[in-house]
Amino acid sequence: MRILGIDYGDARTGLSISDPTGFLAGSPSVIHEWNYEKLLDKLCAYIGQQKIEKIVLGHPKNMDGTAGPRAQKCEALAQELEARTGVPVVLWDERRTTVAAHDILHRSGKKEKKHRENVDAVAATLILQGYLDFQRMHG
């Protein structure tokens, strides 16, 4: 099963696709798009091209577990993607994911300026891998 991990952002949206067995997250990439409608179109086209069967969308809850404006934007995106593609969307708690992504890039020796270019793709990979690991342990 091909599963797509998404780290949704205002300017950059990170993507990662699982291997066909649903064991590993990989193929990190980024869509640079500010316009919500254009982003939706690009995501829907990508989902069709890659034959995605499930979507895991990062859900940035507040540290106390409540849903702020960012989480609500992700919930709206999840509903829209599901309606337009027919592919089920799972909202996945992504608290600390971006912090972890920055830490990984820092430890890999990447320059701070380069982090912005890669952090969304790494965050999407972490979101997807977290989901895959959870499914494997609790599936």
Query: Which CATH number fits the domain that encloses residue 62?
Result: 3.30.420.140
In the chain (139 residues long), the average pLDDT of successive 10-residue segments reads 94 95 92 96 98 95 84 96 98 78 75 72 91 88
Task: Note the pLDDT of residue 60.
Answer: 87
Handedness of CA 44, 114, 61, 12 (dihedral sign): negative
pLDDT of residue 110: 67
| Range of the structural domain that residue 45 is part of | 3-138
* Count of domains observed in the chain: 1
Query: pTM of whole model > 0.95?
Result: no
CA torsion, ordered 49, 128, 16, 93, to nearest 10 deg: 100
